[in-house]
Structure 1
Amino acid sequence: MYPRKTHQLVQSALESQAAVVLLGPRQVGKTTLALDIASEQPSVYLDLEREADRQVLVEPDLYLDEQAGKLVVLDEVQQIPGLFKTLRGQIDHRRRAGFRTGQFLLLGSASNVLLQQSAESLAGRVRYIEMPPLQLGEVGTDQLNQLWLRGGFPDSFSAEGDQASMDWRLDFLRAYLERDIPALGPRIPAATLRRFWTMLAHVQGGLLNAAALAEGLGVSGQTVGRYLDLLVDLMLVRRLQPWHDNVGKRLVKSPKVYVRDSGIVHALLGIGTIEGLLGHPVVGGSWEGFCIETLLAAAPTGTEPYFYRTTAGAELDLVLRLPDGETWAVEIKRTTAPKVSRGFHIGAEDIQANRRFLVYAGEREVPVSNDIRALPLARAIELLSAH
């Protein structure tokens, strides 16, 4: 089992909150982590996709009253939407009985569904934590290329070979399209959604062009928006918003879109080896998306991510607004030559960035100019983690 940063985050949250909601796509390791935490204390685990476990909660108050003082782990909790009102009453009742923290650990794989269900019922009683796939600091910097190629889903990353990893990811895609997404309710043909997902992979990191996507799929722009919302909600796609502060410039207003796990990008495009990846047109977008997800996983809680682009050509791949108010400008390049474009200099000045970095494929930290440093990805993670 890989040591996960999320493990400490969840443990700390349970020490200060009655309930924690752990979000993340399927197969990312939520259940393994939850069972590990549960094994260290009196606990009970229910998988709400299993009919037998759902039957236990037909009379939820009766069952949960008996579990007072234990950590109750409820997996795939979005399967029983009405449960959140019961949990609110349970938390309040337990507080009066002296059990104030560490009561419920709720796991889910559809973020907006869970947030909407729990926001009103559990307001002030719950903390939300998103669990990303495996990160570079968790597997070791010597595994960077394998992590980039295979992605961070544990079974994919740790497969015996590249082909076994690819087979796992193809099965993962098939399961989502044919079983998991229909179970949430949307009636979308699996072949159509697969084509849409693949189209996003082809333009990894590009500006959202709903009209072009709609034309390619033979559907309306509104339908494309619905498909995109679904994949964002399932934490499989990131919609990176443009920097919106008024800086007196004509800003690009469309979001950029990334398939969040690089291994899924490569599976959708049939890229099975690092050699094949380095020679593929998507290599730049894939590296950019991989670095963005890695940096955001390392950033302090509450960090807001954006990109910046003006119609005049100023551009920043990633802008991070940190909780302390600092703004970091980041350029990402799959190159060993540490140079930044003129557009990066202009963009960093436009937003008055406090710190300016180039994340590149080299192994040393080097100055690019007086106020810009080129960093390996691992060093950039260290700086964000320490902030």
Structure 2
Amino acid sequence: MVLRKDSSLRRIWLIAGGPSTEFEVSLNSGRVVCEKISLHDKVVQPVGITRRGRWVISERVLQEGEARDWVGSFFRCVASDDSSLSGATVVEAAARMIDEHVDCAFLVLHGQFGEDGRVQGFLDTLGIPYTGSGLFASALAFDKARALQVLRGAGLRTPRGMCATAPTDASKIAATLHFPLFVKPVHGGSSVGMSFVSDPTALPSAIALALETDAHVLIEERVEGLEVSCGVIDRVRDSKIESLALPPTAIRPRQSSFFDYNAKYTPGGSEEITPAPLPAPMLERIRDCALRAHKALGCEGMSRSDFIIPEEGNGEPVILEVNTIPGMTSTSLLPQQAQAAGIDFSQLLDELIETALWCARQRRR
């Protein structure tokens, strides 16, 4: 396909995939963004990174007035990761981005490699703006243990927890924390490698499972209560950034004991109510906590914080983690919350791009 020459159109690379345990989720997010993004002022080039780290740059671009029905097959091709699949090295991809004067990279990379700051640092060296948080905030939020330390320092309530590096740490943990426990990789998302443990004898195997995807494991006491998630987006208003906390979502898994991978990405796997059916003061408290977390970690563009509203005590929200690149699939929470705030999907994507370009200009000052 020939790209129409129009200097007024922004050139966007939509980057998804990567060598991560959340590879499929990322590709699905990429497909949905390609289907929803407005093209009146931009052209979008889908780019899929295979599990082997090859950058598959689509030969076709998305532009206004032309069909998008080929996007699904492109991402399925990337997902196949066939050894014969042609793809660029990261150095070749960098050269393409510079030669083609890419205005902004729209990142829908989840998990290791894409959400941990590595791609952000790579794009920083090329001088290419990108959506979402910068290198430091991305790396910090991706390390759940260190992020929770920062959040506690900002006055937010967090679960009691400990870290482990081997199954043999189980006895020390069992003697310190109160069961039941959640066991999860320190670095990762989408609840991959996560376990719910109510029996101390099952703790070593749960730690071993988490160690399959990470060298460090976080073990936390379960907080009984309602799981709630709250997104934050940054918008450019009057030549400055305005952070907006979106309506929180209440989450009730239908088949799982917690909001695991299947509950998150299987249609109907959980009941998600936006805004959450909570008193107005509590909704405002959750939004305030999400804003404080967003700012404490230095997030930019967007974030989504997950909380538990305890059944006991004063009901102060307990923050579990902060995601710097929330999912953008048809079942994802951030688009649902934006819609509840009167921001449709395509407008949300435009806001993220505008914020990315504004932040890049500020960094260059």
Q: So what's the TM-score if we normalise by structure 1?
A: 0.29
Greater fraction of residues in strand: 2
- Highest RCO, 1 vs 2 (Cα 8 Å, sep ≥ 6): 2
Q: So what's the TM-score if we normalise by structure 2?
A: 0.31
Greater fraction of residues in helix: 1
